[in-house]
Amino acid sequence: MAELSIIIPTLNAGTGLQRSLPPLAEFDSVNLVHEVIFADGGSTDETLEVAEAAGANVVISERGRGLQLGAGAKAATGRWLLFLHADTSLDPRWYEAVWSFLHEPDNDRRAGYFRFKLDDKRKRAKLLERFVALRVRLFGLPYGDQGLLISRSFYNELGGYRAIPLMEDVDFVRRIGRTRLVHLGRNAVTSAERYERDGYVRRSVRNFFCLSAFFFGVPPRLIAKFYG
């Protein structure tokens, strides 16, 4: 029985969606997904046309990933929620891991996440992937580009994503708690475009600075100004 709502925050994400949606089409074969929701922050490109072609629902929200994720979750009607970034594509047969997670009773109060990968085969990308795996293993901090699978009841119990301009994913997984996070054993492959544009070292250092500032209590609105 279809019981999963997939929520994708979008803002001029048409190009990224062209690569992330095809693997999701596989859910038709297992009757897993109840709906796909684009929580859009005001796109002016082909994003809404992509949504229509994919048969997705569109929720219009104020711009900001925390706001958009919250709006998408509020509109969702599935018993389970899967949050994905628009430029992230799941492994083929991703649904097998999700199906197994959904049907384990103890997971009603846990959340699942995927393995971070980039669509870049070069050494610098592999190094970053190992660093992310280490961060998750040591600190229990998967980011939004690793997806998040959670029951609606647990999501509501935790208060959901907060309406903050940045670090909404870190804020939420901290409330989930590392002992209630489960690796799903499949890849979430994210576009390396931003790392190639900004530079791997520069972007990684900036991300680390933002994370550190957040942990030291700097307001997300100020961090967002630095993040750009």
Q: What is residue 20's predicted lDDT score, i.e. its pLDDT?
A: 72
Per-residue pLDDT of the chain (228 residues; tens, 9 = 90+): 569 999 999 999 888 787 777 666 666 556 788 899 999 999 999 999 988 888 889 999 999 999 999 999 999 999 999 999 999 999 988 999 999 999 999 999 999 999 999 999 999 999 999 999 999 999 999 999 999 999 999 999 999 999 988 899 999 999 999 999 999 999 999 999 999 999 999 999 988 889 899 999 988 888 887 775
Position 41 in a domain? yes
Q: What is the CATH number of the domain that holds 128?
A: 3.90.550.10
Position 220 in a domain? no
Full residue range of the structural domain in which residue 127 is found? 4-198
Q: What is residue 224's predicted lDDT score, i.e. its pLDDT?
A: 82
Q: Please count the structural domains in the chain.
A: 1
Position 213 in a domain? no
Position 86 in a domain? yes
Position 124 in a domain? yes
Rounded to two decimals, the pTM is 0.93
Position 35 in a domain? yes
- Do residues 123 and 117 touch, judged by C-beta distance below 8 A? no
Position 224 in a domain? no
Task: Return the ∠ at Cα 147 (arms to 145 and 151), rounded to 5°.
Answer: 155
Position 20 in a domain? yes
Check residue 219 and give left, alpha or beta (phi > 0: left; psi -120 to 50: alpha): beta
Model confidence over 40-69: pLDDT tens digits? 999 999 999 988 888 889 999 999 999 999
Q: What is residue 187's predicted lDDT score, i.e. its pLDDT?
A: 97
